[in-house]
DNA sequence: GTCTATACTCTGATAGAC
DNA sequence: GTCTATCAGAGTATAGAC
């Protein structure tokens, strides 16, 4: 369905803001990514950002939501027969977007507060991610997991998040390689 | 050696500030833990806090440093023959101090910035923790690790950090139990 | 609907008096 | 060693122009 001009412009602006936000984080770090900086990069005032997103926290939550939509965590994790390849794909991809990893890790802590706009985002995403991985493991008859699928999923999620912390402070850490070897050790192929 | 009165008072004030900081975080979350709140609890003004610690970030870094000193991560991790018990002890203990876990996770992200006062703290602590765990694993002849000690240490650290994120947002997660079962699966006892 | 201008409040931080 | 006063900067709310 066709949109009115003014509406289409708003949608484009939203995208522009979300992309600029990510760019500023990647360049200056989350700490120094102010509304002013982002607004300046877009060419508007901070108040314009709050017109589209209600607050700074909601803006950044939206960045994460959009990422999940567009480079689809679900398709890769849930639809693949082999959950190992899906998980490692995601990790490899993350290593190419430092700003996104920093944003994710930072909001994961802030969102502990039930009032934080990203609170439900993290609860639901975690839940979906773990059940996708657990289902994949359960379906994969070529491997013999050493732990029940739910615990395996929880451990893999924890390792992925924890390795991101290590990688951010020391980028020589090879996240994908470690997860790869861990999965092979924890759910070896049947002979 | 004996201290002058004014000096001893300063030391006591420092302790008082560090403890109050932790208390405020546990009650209001890191986000809402302002210098004003902490100062109010101690009974002084925010400027007094900055007299003892140069900045807010340095104050919180000092909280983490003091924790490591006094409930000694090193003794438990490095001196124990069985690194499994040491690690699980630490995890169990952390589950009793939510404010500390939140502070730790939050600073771990902020400290990615090399200019952050906690940057070297995290680099050095990680290094020490991993080599202690790796050494313990190497020494323990009753277990057969599925991965090399360094990778095992990195994975265990990642799992511990990642599980804290899951636990903070959902306190029903039993961190110690999961790590316990993971270690048994990943480094089974020899028969 | 899109956005600027303005102002308000709170933050961490600094300078200097006591 | 601690306070008061003051600062610049942050995020945010509102009014209203277009």
Separation of CA A72 from chain center = 10
Is there a single domain that holds both residue A176 and residue A99? yes
Measured CA to CA, the distance from residue A144 to residue A189 in angstroms comes to 6
DSSP code at position A142: T
Is there a single domain that holds both residue B23 and residue B91? no
pLDDT of residue B51: 97
User: Which residue, A6, A10, A27, A178, is CA-closest to A100?
Assistant: A27
Q: Average pLDDT over chain A, rounded to whole?
A: 91
* B147 inside 8 A of chain A by CB: yes
Q: What total number of domains does chain A contain?
A: 2
pLDDT of residue A114: 97
Q: State which nucleotides on strand C lie below 7 Å from a protein beta carbon.
A: 1-6, 10-16
DSSP code at position A76: I
* A122 inside 8 A of chain B by CB: yes
Closest-lying nucleotide for A49 based on CA to C1': C3
- CATH number reported for the structural domain that contains residue A15 in this entry: 1.10.10.60
User: Which residue, B184, B25, B148, is CA-closest to B97?
Assistant: B25
Is there a single domain that holds both residue A109 and residue A85? yes
Is there a single domain that holds both residue A71 and residue A7? no
A191 is a domain residue: no
DSSP code at position B54: S
pLDDT of residue B21: 98
User: Which residue, A17, A28, A20, A8, is CA-closest to A50?
Assistant: A17
Contacts for A168 with CB less than 8 Å, ≥ 6 apart = A98, A101, A102, A105, B109, B112
Domain end call among A52, A75, A91: A52
Is there a single domain that holds both residue B11 and residue B59? no
Mean pLDDT (10-residue bins), chain B, 191 residues:
64 95 97 97 97 98 92 56 80 96 98 97 94 89 94 97 98 97 95 79
Q: How many CB pairs under 8 A join A and B?
A: 113
B60 is a domain residue: yes
Distance B179 CA to D18 C1' (A): 61
- CATH number reported for the structural domain that contains residue B162 in this entry: 1.10.357
Is there a single domain that holds both residue A70 and residue A126? yes
To the nearest whole Å, the CA of A1 is away from the closest chain B CA by 40
B82 is a domain residue: yes
| A158–B158 C-beta distance less than 8 A | yes
Domain residue limits at A108 = 58-186
Segments of chain A scoring below 50 in pLDDT: 1-2, 80
Helix axis angle for A149-169 and B98-110, nearest 10°, is 50
pLDDT of residue B19: 97
A81 is a domain residue: yes
The torsion defined by the Cα of B167, A68, A22 and B155, in degrees rounded to 10, comes to 40
pLDDT of residue A10: 87
Contacts for A140 with CB less than 8 Å, ≥ 6 apart = A81, A82, A83
| Model confidence pLDDT, tens digit, residues B88-114 | 999 999 999 999 999 999 999 999 999
Is there a single domain that holds both residue A76 and residue A103? yes
3-state class percentages of chain A: helix first, strand second, coil last, to nearest 5? 75, 0, 25
Q: Rounded to the nearest 5°, which phi and psi values hold at B95?
A: -65, -10
């Amino acid at each position: 369905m066709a949109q009115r001009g003014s509406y289409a412009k708003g949608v484009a602006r939203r995208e522009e803001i979300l992309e600029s936000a990510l760019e500023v984080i990647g360049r200056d770090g989350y700490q120094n990514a102010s509304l002013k900086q982002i607004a300046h990069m877009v060419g508007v005032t901070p108040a314009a950002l709050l017109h589209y997103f209600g607050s700074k926290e909601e803006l950044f939550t939206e960045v994460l939501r959009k990422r999940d939509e567009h480079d689809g965590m679900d398709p890769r994790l849930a639809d693949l027969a082999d959950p190992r390849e899906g998980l490692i794909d995601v990790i490899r991809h993350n290593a190419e977007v430092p700003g996104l990893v920093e944003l994710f890790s930072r909001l994961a802590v802030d969102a502990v507060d039930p009032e934080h706009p990203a609170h439900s985002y993290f609860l639901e995403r975690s839940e979906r991610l773990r059940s996708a991985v657990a289902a994949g493991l359960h379906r994969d008859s070529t491997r013999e997991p050493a732990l029940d699928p739910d615990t395996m999923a929880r451990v893999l999620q924890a390792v992925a998040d924890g390795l991101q912390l290590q990688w951010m402070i020391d980028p020589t850490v090879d996240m994908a390689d470690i997860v790869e070897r861990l999965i092979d050790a924890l759910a070896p192929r049947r002979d």
